Chains A and B, each alone.
Chain A
Amino acid sequence: MKRATQVTALAAVAALALAACGAAPEDDETTGGGDDTAGGNSDFSACMVSDAGGFDDQSFNQAGFEGLEQAKTELGITATEVESSADTDYAPNIDNLVQQGCNLVIGVGFLLEDPIQAAAEANPDTNFALIDSSFSDADFNPVEIDNAKPILFNTAEAAFLAGYLAAGMSETGTVATFGGIQIPSVAIFMDGFVDGVAKYNEDNGTEVKTLGWDKEAQTGSFTGDFENQANGQNLAQGFIDQGADIIMPVAGPVGLGAAAAAQSGGAKIIWVDSDGFLTTEYGDIIITSVMKQIGPAVFDTVSESVDGNFTNEPYVGTLENEGVGLAPFHDFEDQVPAELQDMLAQYQEQIIAGDLVVESTNTP
């Protein structure tokens, strides 16, 4: 036993020593190597505060983080990202970033609304942006702040197309959706999905049912968090047992549980936020994804600020500006009937032209 420990320790030391045998870099290489990446905007500092989910949440914090990293490499700015571990961390994190001279501070998520608003009012020389929420005054009326930009997404538009597609692709005549937590940025997906199914029924005289969300009453199925995949699996299994063959989980990583249930139950998935064909291992059952382009929106906001064109005008991602949209069908390219694809293209144009408005009480 003791001998084994000694041998292991010796091996570990040897490995460490070998790993440490590399050649030292030339001196000129070590100094100021970071500036060659691009542009030379390194005096512009863009900073981001996550919500309590952290930047590795496979969801909107991560998408925002990737947008900022992209800005760092392509624009050559200085980027600082700080994670919050609890709701109480937001205000101190934002304050520290402002104090260390960030030109633009981006908050991720509606929970940062109050701290971002307070910081924006107290620091008029710093610009702010807030993902997934706008600002309101003491009487809960919407309010504009000169140096703070809300970044919002009208995902109902893309979810409408997903609902239409789901209704057209369903063989059982039953589709389903569920959410993680009932918040506007989740419910808006479900509103659009329900409307899309209804539109398909209207066009084709069918009676495709949607489980999991009642748009009128704004009530439906939620797993209760964005973490517990087992809940997503159980809920999806329940839908499959009721005959649903296409499910849209709006619950970040919880959707992976739904995908597992769908895989064993012969159902299909419509993913949300990112292109699930690329980001999950369930590409073979994902018909399409309702994409919410947080990363590009962050990149654009940073890019405008670097050029001195920051405005407080809200950015609203729509089908028109490609801030939201349907992902490619990938493996299902051949299975989606041509006429259904034509109808989707037609409705997409109508929505962009403003002829068809997808209404939702959760629209930003």
Chain B
Amino acid sequence: MTQQAMPDDAAAVPPTPAPPSDTTKTRPPAGASILREMLESSWLVSLLAIVAALVLGGVLIAAADPEVQEAATYFFARPSDFFQAVWNAVFGAYSALFQGAVINFQAPDLQRALRPLTETMTVSTPLILAGLGLGIGFRAGLFNIGAQGQIILGGIFAGFIGFTFSLPPGLHLLLAVLGAALGGAIWASIAGVLKARTGAHEVIVTIMLNNIAVYLVAYLLTTPAFQRPGSSNPISPPIPSSATFPLLLGEGFRLHLGFVLALLVAVGVWWLMERSTLGFRFRAVGENPHAARTAGISVAWVTVWVMAIAGALAGLGGAAQVLGTEKVLTAGVAASFGFDAITVALLGRSRPLGTVLAGLLFGALRAGGFAMQARTGTPIDIVLVVQSLIVLFIAAPPLVRAIFRLPTPGGPTRAERHAARRRAKAATTTTTTQEVGA
């Protein structure tokens, strides 16, 4: 009942373990170079990856549809039925997805018509926050897989402060939010310190910490301090209104101040990475840790700081869930946001604006997925498949280029290739002539 979605997304991009450092004096570790390749692929590739994933998702929707399956049995007798069924299934599912994520044309009133868009923003909030944190890590060369655990820890801290103490509104919320950031930061710093001190690979450590966090929250929810009085169900008391994010658009919508917080954090991250000395050091270590060390930057120090900041942001994502969207702490309050956030950060190429847009896209897929399942019976797993396919395509830019026949960046353009072929041909001809002549 409380199972966590396993990191399918993470599994799709297995990071290559860094070879021993003595062989890599001249080049950065292999893990970092894979990261760099993904981050440096063009916007076009990201966009085309989404398109390709949606097309493949459409094929699966059609294949899973009972009417399509039935029409396929008499395809040669009446093919029109088959194509009609395919069109109905795919168009029906994607139009429900769109109406569940952006605007509902069939709504009885304006509020209901606009609600889907606000749902998308609500769902995207933890994705954006955690994705921003992960993006900082990626740009500093750290493959942090631990956002899931960091969100959970943020949720635990935020929830505990929220439902245990009774404080004036505002102050209570502020404390709970800061607590969440601290909780996430502490959890991520464990991986940061271990990496800086012992060289333990952050991928392994953060994955382990994810599991520990899952069991930690499950354990805490069996203790009376985290349960509702008079009940032993593993669900916390609701968060009082003094510690919840205020609703932005009133009762009819779930959208809360956490979304604004996410946007502000995005601006903050942009300033940090592009304008501050700290961010410059982060990027320098990400570009080339050996050069950075030579230039006098402490790589160990940067590692710990990057992880702590990434964890704090993921912790804020946990706060957005517990203090905003759900208003309660359960074992599954983090859903699979921590793993989805990895994809969000990669799709957004670890830039703040990109991460916000990618977070909104994933929020839309998730919010629309509910409507798609409710209206057309299309399994919500299709949404997970589409998300995973996006990762797959992002992780393999050459595949996307091959599908859409794009030129390789840095490689010869078509005109150059043409010229090269002509030169080669001319050279062969010359040789032949010479041979004949001799």
Q: Does A37 contact B (CB under 8 A)?
A: no
Residues 36-78 of chain B: 1 if any A CB is under 8 Å from the residue's CB, otherwise 0?
A: 0000000000000000000000000000000000001111111
| B1 contact set on A, CB distance < 8 A | 51-53, 57, 109, 111, 180-181, 225-226
Select from chain B the residue with minimum beta-carbon distance to A102: B374
Residues B73 and A85 in contact, CB atoms below 8 Å apart = no
| A309 contact set on B, CB distance < 8 A | none
| B110 contact set on A, CB distance < 8 A | none
| A224-B100 Cα distance, complex, nearest whole Å | 36
Residues A111 and B336 in contact, CB atoms below 8 Å apart = no
Q: Which of B319-343 contact A (CB under 8 A)?
A: 321, 325-326, 328, 330-333, 335-337
Q: Contacts A140-B230, A181-B2 known; A24 to B81 CB distance under 8 Å?
A: yes
| B74 contact set on A, CB distance < 8 A | 20-25
Q: Contacts A22-B77, A25-B74, A83-B379 known; A52 to B332 CB distance under 8 Å?
A: yes
User: What number of B residues sit within 8 Å (CB to CB) of A?
Assistant: 54
Q: Does A138 contact B (CB under 8 A)?
A: yes
Residues 128-147 of chain A: 1 if any B CB is under 8 Å from the residue's CB, otherwise 0?
A: 00000100101010000000
Residues A96 and B370 in contact, CB atoms below 8 Å apart = yes
Q: Does B421 contact A (CB under 8 A)?
A: no
Residues A82 and B72 in contact, CB atoms below 8 Å apart = no
Q: Does A89 contact B (CB under 8 A)?
A: yes
* Most chain A beta carbons < 10 A, residue from B123, B335, B337: B335
Q: Does A6 contact B (CB under 8 A)?
A: no
Partner-binding segment picked from B201-209, B232-240, B269-277: B232-240
Q: Does A58 contact B (CB under 8 A)?
A: no
* Most chain B beta carbons < 10 A, residue from A47, A113, A180: A113
| A113-B228 Cα distance, complex, nearest whole Å | 13
Q: Does B294 contact A (CB under 8 A)?
A: no
Q: Does A88 contact B (CB under 8 A)?
A: yes
Q: Does A1 contact B (CB under 8 A)?
A: no
| A183 contact set on B, CB distance < 8 A | 232-234
Q: Does B231 contact A (CB under 8 A)?
A: yes
Q: Which of A256-294 contact B (CB under 8 A)?
A: none
| B78 contact set on A, CB distance < 8 A | 24
Residues A24 and B77 in contact, CB atoms below 8 Å apart = yes
| B325 contact set on A, CB distance < 8 A | 88
Cβ-defined partner of B231 (8 Å) among A25, A85, A140: A140
| A93-B370 Cα distance, complex, nearest whole Å | 6
Q: Does A182 contact B (CB under 8 A)?
A: yes
Q: Does B377 contact A (CB under 8 A)?
A: yes
| A93-B229 Cα distance, complex, nearest whole Å | 28
| A204-B377 Cα distance, complex, nearest whole Å | 56
Q: Does A300 contact B (CB under 8 A)?
A: no
Residues B326 and A87 in contact, CB atoms below 8 Å apart = yes
Q: Which of A184-205 contact B (CB under 8 A)?
A: 184, 187
| A93 contact set on B, CB distance < 8 A | 370, 373-374
Q: Contacts A23-B77, A96-B100, A138-B238 known; A86 to B72 CB distance under 8 Å?
A: no
Residues B76 and A19 in contact, CB atoms below 8 Å apart = no
| A80 contact set on B, CB distance < 8 A | 374, 377
Interface of B is mostly: loop
Residues 23-43 of chain A: 1 if any B CB is under 8 Å from the residue's CB, otherwise 0?
A: 111000000000000000000
| A85-B373 Cα distance, complex, nearest whole Å | 12
Q: Which of A66-119 contact B (CB under 8 A)?
A: 80, 82-83, 85-89, 91-93, 95-97, 99-100, 109-111, 113-114
Residues 220-247 of chain A: 1 if any B CB is under 8 Å from the residue's CB, otherwise 0?
A: 0000111100000000000000000000
| A218 contact set on B, CB distance < 8 A | 232
User: What number of A residues sit within 8 Å (CB to CB) of B?
Assistant: 50
Residues A86 and B5 in contact, CB atoms below 8 Å apart = yes
Residues A20 and B234 in contact, CB atoms below 8 Å apart = no
| B328 contact set on A, CB distance < 8 A | 114
Residues B232 and A187 in contact, CB atoms below 8 Å apart = yes
| A111 contact set on B, CB distance < 8 A | 1, 235, 330, 332
Least CB distance, A243 to chain B, in whole angstroms: 28
Q: Does B401 contact A (CB under 8 A)?
A: no
* Most chain B beta carbons < 10 A, residue from A20, A100, A182, A218: A20
| A17-B333 Cα distance, complex, nearest whole Å | 47
Residues B254 and A88 in contact, CB atoms below 8 Å apart = no
Cβ-defined partner of B234 (8 Å) among A17, A51, A181, A362: A181
Q: Does B218 contact A (CB under 8 A)?
A: yes
Residues A88 and B333 in contact, CB atoms below 8 Å apart = yes
Residues A100 and B374 in contact, CB atoms below 8 Å apart = yes
Residues 298-336 of chain B: 1 if any A CB is under 8 Å from the residue's CB, otherwise 0?
A: 000000000000000000000001000110101111011
| A362-B232 Cα distance, complex, nearest whole Å | 9
| A181 contact set on B, CB distance < 8 A | 1-2, 222, 234
Q: Does B417 contact A (CB under 8 A)?
A: no
Residues B228 and A88 in contact, CB atoms below 8 Å apart = no
| A47 contact set on B, CB distance < 8 A | 374
Residues A225 and B3 in contact, CB atoms below 8 Å apart = yes
| A114-B77 Cα distance, complex, nearest whole Å | 52
Least CB distance, B255 to chain A, in whole angstroms: 13
Q: List 13 A-B contacts (CB under 8 A).
A: A20-B76, A24-B77, A80-B374, A82-B380, A87-B332, A88-B123, A88-B321, A91-B326, A111-B332, A136-B228, A181-B234, A182-B232, A225-B1
Which residues of B approach A to under 8 Å, CB–CB? 1-3, 5, 72-78, 81, 100, 104, 107, 112, 119, 123, 215, 218, 222, 228-235, 237-238, 254, 321, 325-326, 328, 330-333, 335-337, 367, 370-371, 373-375, 377, 379-381, 384
Which residues of A approach B to under 8 Å, CB–CB? 17, 19-25, 47, 51-53, 57, 80, 82-83, 85-89, 91-93, 95-97, 99-100, 109-111, 113-114, 133, 136, 138, 140, 180-184, 187, 218, 224-227, 362
The 5 closest A-B pairs by CB, nearest first: A87-B332, A20-B75, A86-B335, A96-B374, A24-B77
Q: A23-B74, A82-B380 given. 14 additional CB < 8 A pairs?
A: A22-B74, A23-B77, A80-B374, A85-B336, A88-B123, A88-B332, A99-B104, A100-B375, A109-B1, A113-B235, A180-B1, A181-B222, A184-B232, A187-B232
